[in-house]
Amino acid sequence: MVVVWPYIDDMKKQFAKTARELGQLPASLPCKPKAILVITGHWEESEFTVSTATNPPMRYDYSGFPEHTYRIKYPAPGSPALARRVRELLGQAGISSNEDPHQGFDHGTFVPLFLMYPDASIPVVMLSLKSNYDPLEHIRAGEALKPLRDEGILIIGSGLSYHNMRGSDKPMPHLCPNNSRSI
């Protein structure tokens, strides 16, 4: 089944700018990436964990959406070689990591990638966040992974743009408890 963005018609206007910007992003890059590493805010583990599947499954990590959104496919291949390289770089920095051969593409991965690379031809590997959310550990991991940029790997941090889509147009005063203005 081919599904054209947006997946939910009544959200077309709400996400038009995000969709346009993501669709234009590949043209701003110096070249087509060899592979993509998505550090996804929709996957948390006690240790940084890398997806190693050759053909990653889909993970419909949402609820309450139209039935057709649970049949969306983004058939990009995985890259066990990139997953090994990610673990190697983390290990060289003294950062422990795990691997998961079953982790699938979550909506923080497949939605933006569909907009950027709809043909799904570029290999994709995901990296979890650490569930302790320690900022220094995450910064260290980012520093350790910097060499991938020079190896033709596009590194994407994902999670917020396509999270809580039903609440994205509502005021959220709890985010600014000392300020009466909402975001």
Contact at 8 Å (CB) between 165 and 112?
Answer: no
Q: Report the pLDDT value the prediction gives residue 161, as an integer from 0 to 100.
A: 46
- Counted residue by residue, the chain has a size of 183
Rounded CA separation 155/124 (Å): 10
Q: What is the DSSP letter of 5?
A: S
Those residues of the chain that have pLDDT short of 70 are 1-12, 14, 160-183
Contact at 8 Å (CB) between 105 and 19?
Answer: no
For the sheet containing 97-100, what is the strand order?
97-100, 48-51, 124-130, 35-45, 153-158
Q: What residue has token string 């909402």?
A: 182
Q: Report the pLDDT value the prediction gives residue 12, as an integer from 0 to 100.
A: 66
31-163: CATH number: 3.40.830.10
Complete DSSP assignment for 129-167: EETT--HHHHHHHHHHHTHHHHTTEEEEEESSTTSSGGG
Q: Is the pTM of this model over 0.75?
A: yes
Q: Report the pLDDT value the prediction gives residue 83, as an integer from 0 to 100.
A: 98
Q: Report the pLDDT value the prediction gives residue 78, as an integer from 0 to 100.
A: 98
Kindly list the domain boundaries of the chain, sorted by start residue: 31-163
Q: Report the pLDDT value the prediction gives residue 8, as an integer from 0 to 100.
A: 60
Q: Report the pLDDT value the prediction gives residue 180, as an integer from 0 to 100.
A: 36
Q: Report the pLDDT value the prediction gives residue 66, as an integer from 0 to 100.
A: 80
